[in-house]
A and B are shown apart, each in its own frame.
Chain A
């Protein structure tokens, strides 16, 4: 199975600050990497597919990049409503696997 490793586990940041979450795959997965946002007590929300494509309705301050084994999710200007845990997930091969999440909080 492909292992997904996220860093950091916790990310305190100020409103308006640029935030970057990193996700690494245990083997090359091309651009088969997706990102989700999970607010406390809620179901995950799909943000980005194939590394850099923003799902419809997702604010433009979210962006994704990377290929191979290293990927990033960036929030260009953190807003209070972005407080959540962010998960990466590979769709390169079954079983689809997830990172353990990065909790983004307001400092």
Chain B
């Protein structure tokens, strides 16, 4: 079955960077894209960006452009998200989710990884 497994929780200081991995299995990794979404404590969801595994095309939420990097490794069927210049309000659970296909982003997310808690604190 399709599985999406993320790396473990991280604690970072303000100004630091965090890199989260998202390992997939059970489907053809190169035929889909990956979106990254976060959920701050007690808050709703916020979409950060999308990357096509097929051709590397990317879409960003404007507020994260410039400090968000999304990459994929087709040798391990793993996607990565790096967020730089962390602030306290970046504290959230970060999710990856399969999104879209060869034709581009679709904008719905299925399935999701289990989430990675990133805590930003001095």
Contact = CB atoms under 8 A, between A and B. Distances in A.
Interface in B59-118: 59, 61-62, 95, 105-115
A97 B47 contact: yes
A98 interface: yes
A9 B65 CA distance: 31
A100 B44 contact: yes
User: Which of B62, B112, B113 has the most A CB atoms < 10 Å from its CB?
Assistant: B112
Interface in A79-107: 87, 89-92, 94-101
A87 B44 contact: yes
| Interface size grouping (class) on chain A | 20 to 34
A24 B108 CA distance: 18
B44 A34 contact: no
A44 B107 contact: no
Given A34-B108, A91-B107, A43 B115 contact: yes
| Interface size grouping (class) on chain B | 20 to 34
A43 B112 contact: yes
A32 interface: yes
A36 B47 CA distance: 14
A89 B115 contact: no
A46 B109 contact: yes
Given A43-B114, A44-B112, A96 B35 contact: yes
Interface of A: 32, 34, 36, 43-46, 49, 55, 87, 89-92, 94-101
Given A44-B109, A46-B108, A98-B44, 20 more contacts: A43-B111, A43-B112, A43-B113, A44-B112, A45-B111, A46-B112, A55-B110, A87-B44, A87-B45, A89-B109, A94-B61, A94-B105, A95-B47, A95-B61, A96-B35, A96-B47, A97-B47, A98-B45, A98-B46, A98-B47
Interface of B: 35, 43-47, 59, 61-62, 95, 105-115
